[in-house]
Amino acid sequence: MSLRKTVMAAALSVVMLFSGCMLIPEKEKSESSEEPRPEQSSGSVSGESSASQTVSAPEPRRKSVELEKGEEYRLPFIGHALFYKSSDQLVAAVDSTGIVTAVSAGAAEITVSSDNVDIAVFSVTVTDENAVSSQPEESSAASENIITPAVWEAKAKNGAVVYMMGSIHVGDSDAQCLPDYFNAAFDLCDTLAVEIDPSDADLSVMRATLREYMYSDGTTIIDHVSAEAYTSARNILREHDLFYSSLDMYKPAIWINFLDDAVSMDAGLSGDYGVDDTVRALADARCKTIVGLEKNEDHISAYTEEDEELTELMLEEYVSEEYYDSSVEEIAGLYEKWKTGTLTAEDVTSDDSEIEELLKKAASDDELEELEHVIEMYESFTKRLVEDRNKLMTDRIEDFLKEKKAVMVVVGVAHFFGDNGIVSLLENRGYTVRRLSSEDVPALEALPKAA
């Protein structure tokens, strides 16, 4: 791989991992979207039709659960996109947040569905006995976790604690199955802190935000990238039903976000199952306050006019067959590592040593000068999009600790890793940070829950 391609791949990985919450325009119907689609795309990249992106519904998971009358059980499948139904509410009742209550002796089935597709069925048996051993229940709960993403506890010397979970902005139905240690920690918090301030969701604010990403000089995207790159990008988005004519007025940063959506679709993932939305819905259902670590203007400031040259190069690289196909594999692999909590700093940060090694192989002084310019743009870009935002988020988390606020912080998982990640920044400031697991559930459940 050339140095230029290496740098572009690193920059695009940063965008995929860190900018998932950037506001993008909703898809609109237009005369352009109704044009006949090309028989073959230069982007998807093999020319497969959009039908190839359909993921067949898996057989629903089945599990047996035994409860004592009066006992509550939290389904491992919980989320804003899910619907819960009990075959007999007089035996086992279930509420809108996935909490099952054993009402009377008998048997019932709890079905979990999404978009009219059953994804899990729980066979619940309720007994009316007085003595139930708690130890087997703890062991059972640990084995019920469908996913085990990273959740951290940050503790101050004054005893104040903030909990943090690394999220991912796309997923599948498994991403709704938040683990027991997350739920136990979440129950202790009265506030959820996410990346974007919910108050910035106002329509007028969104429109003002999007204007920052539109050309204001009368040009369109076609004037800034090659005809080949534009055609390839347009065809990829058309194949995924993501293209509309007014998209031409937007700068490459917006196109890259839409291409990220296309990559996620080809990897079998969807923003409908993003963890961010799931935890927001849970916070609403449990009457918790939701605050943002950032405002939309913080995101806007991460992309500046000086990045336009870089993002134009990034778009050119994104639609190449080699990069697009590898991106599908990469995001699928990263998602699997997120689910199992096995992501490392190496997975979410660029390999500077590879760039430095290739830099030595520049064929001429002119090529070296051009590549050094690209690297300089990339380093400035990642500093604002990653390092500066990590510091801002860490400042806010430190405020929570100083004020002894009971907060669950949920931001993109990549923000936590590396020397400039949130975990290292907190540790460098004297806080103790550790990973939680199912073994911590009994101790967490013994603590006073948030009001």
**Confidence check: pLDDT of 1 > 60:** no
Q: Does CATH place domain 61-140 in 1.20.1250.20? A: no
Top pLDDT among 32 and 144 is at 144
Name the band, by pLDDT with cuts 50, 70 and 90, for residue 386. Answer: confident
| CB contact at 8 A, 142 and 441 | yes
| pLDDT of the residue at 377 | 78
The DSSP element (H or E) to which 79 belongs, if any, is none
| pLDDT of the residue at 304 | 57
**Confidence check: pLDDT of 32 > 80:** no
Domain boundaries, the chain: 3-55+153-445, 61-140
| pLDDT of the residue at 365 | 66
> What span, in angstroms and rounded, lies between the C-alpha atoms of 224 and 249?
11
Task: Please tell me the number of Cα atoms within 13 Å of 150 on its side-chain side.
Answer: 26
Task: Please tell me the number of Cα atoms within 13 Å of 391 on its side-chain side.
Answer: 6
Top pLDDT among 257 and 237 is at 237
Greatest mean pLDDT among 325-329, 369-373, 376-380: 325-329
- As beta bridge partners, residue 408 has 163, 192
| CB contact at 8 A, 191 and 289 | yes
**Confidence check: pLDDT of 36 > 80:** no
| pLDDT of the residue at 139 | 37
**Confidence check: pLDDT of 306 > 60:** no
| pLDDT of the residue at 137 | 45
| pLDDT of the residue at 41 | 34
| CB contact at 8 A, 16 and 315 | no
Query: Against a cut of 0.85, is the pTM above it?
Result: no
Greatest mean pLDDT among 70-84, 172-186, 275-289, 430-444: 430-444
**Confidence check: pLDDT of 42 > 70:** no
**Confidence check: pLDDT of 135 > 50:** no
| pLDDT of the residue at 440 | 95
| pLDDT of the residue at 38 | 34
Over range 406-412, report the average pLDDT.
94
**Confidence check: pLDDT of 358 > 90:** no
Top pLDDT among 13 and 194 is at 194
Q: 250, 222, 275: which is closest to 24 by C-alpha? A: 250
Over range 116-133, report the average pLDDT.
77
Give the Cβ contact number of residue 213 at 10 Å. 20
- As beta bridge partners, residue 294 has 196
| CB contact at 8 A, 150 and 343 | yes
Span of 47-61, 258-272, 384-398 with lowest mean pLDDT: 47-61
Name the band, by pLDDT with cuts 50, 70 and 90, for residue 83. Answer: confident
**Mean pLDDT, rounded, of the chain:** 78
| pLDDT of the residue at 51 | 37
Say if residue 190 is exposed, middle or buried (CB neighbours under 10 Å; 0-12, 13-18, 19+).
middle
Greatest mean pLDDT among 35-44, 114-123, 365-374, 387-396: 387-396
| CB contact at 8 A, 162 and 154 | yes
**Confidence check: pLDDT of 435 > 50:** yes
How far CA 420 is from CA of 392, 427, 442, in Å, comes to: 11, 11, 33
Name the band, by pLDDT with cuts 50, 70 and 90, for residue 107. Answer: very high
Residues 6+ apart with CB under 8 A from 338: 149, 150, 166, 168, 413
Where are the alpha helices (H) located in 187-226, listed in sequence order? 203-211
Per-residue pLDDT reduced to its tens digit, 307-353: 677 778 888 888 887 788 888 888 899 899 999 999 888 887 765 55
| pLDDT of the residue at 355 | 57
| CB contact at 8 A, 32 and 93 | no
Where are the alpha helices (H) located in 154-245, listed in sequence order? 180-186, 203-211, 227-239
Per-residue pLDDT reduced to its tens digit, 157-214: 999 999 999 998 888 888 888 898 998 999 999 999 998 876 665 666 667 667 778 8
Over range 430-448, report the average pLDDT.
94
